[in-house]
């Protein structure tokens, strides 16, 4: 992991949710009522998580999204402030509430999630504000928790501005044909890789084959994350498997978002794809050792001290 003096700038377009995390012995079956041991309100949403991951890895971050004009929205903004994230591109929706994710976490660590998109579903891009953020930025980070038409518009704008696009197409849905050639770096987990490539992805070899198939559709760089088994990086030079780091995982929430954020910041610094995958894996490995979404995302200092 290299350290440089200048902080890269990253723009993130995406979702913001308040996570209601219910710790339970076991999740209720149909018709069953269970008591939770605790309820915690934790800032989350993939866009917010990715913005926080980028900021904690040392980038200056501008986030674009939509929240309700309510207490959850104000609490999410306060959390973004604490990480120094510019959220002037996060607009208030006066009709829909802030997005909420209801998450049960069982004693085994297994989680079940129900998302109410709320204001996220009415996100519209402010092209003027995004244009200012893209100017000189080292990357635009995107996922699929906002309306696809706006994601596509943001990618078009980044391409026109010469800003590389890093996409995690989660929750998975088919990429519009027009989006493929606009993506510089595609980051997918096993399930997403299998769905997009239309072939099984259970081993590093299968991940490499899927990554090459996805590269053929446009993205110069494809990374397939494999949970505890690490990640496969593919570019014009071929495919490399980076074995997973051995840690004691307690909660994998936000692992993929932390990986993408750290990878995007490293690429914006000018690191190679393999160096960036290494940064992503170190940050994500520490993330899974802590519960919750944004509270579990490590800073660059913590990563450097724990996994140099």
Catalytic residues: 257
Q: Alpha-carbon distance 298 to 15, whole Å?
A: 20
> Toward ligand ADP, which CB reaches closer, 134 or 211?
211
261 binds ligand ADP (CB under 6 A): no
Residue nearest to ligand ADP according to CB distances in the complex:
256
256 binds ligand ADP (CB under 6 A): yes
Closest CA to 11 of 156, 199, 142: 142
Angle at 118 between CA 117 and CA 124, to 5 degrees: 90
Number of residues that bind ligand ADP (CB under 6 A): 19
> Toward ligand ADP, which CB reaches closer, 42 or 163?
42
> Toward ligand ADP, which CB reaches closer, 16 or 286?
286
Q: Alpha-carbon distance 142 to 285, whole Å?
A: 22
244 binds ligand ADP (CB under 6 A): yes
284 binds ligand ADP (CB under 6 A): yes
DSSP H or E stretch at residue 188: strand 185-189
226 binds ligand ADP (CB under 6 A): yes
Q: Alpha-carbon distance 81 to 227, whole Å?
A: 30
Q: Is 14 exposed, middle or buried (0-12, 13-18, 19+ CB in 10 A)?
A: buried
Among 252, 290, 299, 302, binds ligand ADP (CB under 6 A): 252
> Interface with ligand ADP by CB under 6 A: which residues?
189, 225-228, 230-231, 244-245, 247, 249, 252, 255-256, 259, 281, 284-285, 288
């Amino acid at each position: 992991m290299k350290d440089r003096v200048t902080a890269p700038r990253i723009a993130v377009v995406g979702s913001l949710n308040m996570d209601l995390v219910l710790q339970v012995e076991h999740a209720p079956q149909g018709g069953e009522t269970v008591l939770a041991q605790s309820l915690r309100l934790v800032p989350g949403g993939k866009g917010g998580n990715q913005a926080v991951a980028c900021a904690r890895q040392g980038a200056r971050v501008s986030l674009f999204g939509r929240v309700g004009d309510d207490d959850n929205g104000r609490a999410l903004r306060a959390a973004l402030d604490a990480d120094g994230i510019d959220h002037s591109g996060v607009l208030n929706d006066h009709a829909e509430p802030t997005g909420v994710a209801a998450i049960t976490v069982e004693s085994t660590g297994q989680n079940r999630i129900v998302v109410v998109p709320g204001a996220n579903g009415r996100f519209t891009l402010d092209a003027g504000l995004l244009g200012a953020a893209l100017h000189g930025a080292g990357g635009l980070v995107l996922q699929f928790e906002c309306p696809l038409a706006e994601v596509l518009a943001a990618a078009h704008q980044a391409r026109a501005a010469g800003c590389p696009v890093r996409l995690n197409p989660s929750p998975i849905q088919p990429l519009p044909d027009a989006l493929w050639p606009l993506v510089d770096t595609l980051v997918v987990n096993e399930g997403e890789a299998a769905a997009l490539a239309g072939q099984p992805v259970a081993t590093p070899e299968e991940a490499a084959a899927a990554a090459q198939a996805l590269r053929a559709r446009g993205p110069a760089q494809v990374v397939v994350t494999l949970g505890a088994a690490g990640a496969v990086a593919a570019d014009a030079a071929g495919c490399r498997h980076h074995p997973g780091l051995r840690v004691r995982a307690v909660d994998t929430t936000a692992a993929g978002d932390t990986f993408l954020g750290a990878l995007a910041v490293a690429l914006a610094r000018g690191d190679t794809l393999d160096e960036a995958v290494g940064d992503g894996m170190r940050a994500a490995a520490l993330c899974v050792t802590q519960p919750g979404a944004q509270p579990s995302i490590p800073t660059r200092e913590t990563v450097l001290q724990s996994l140099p």
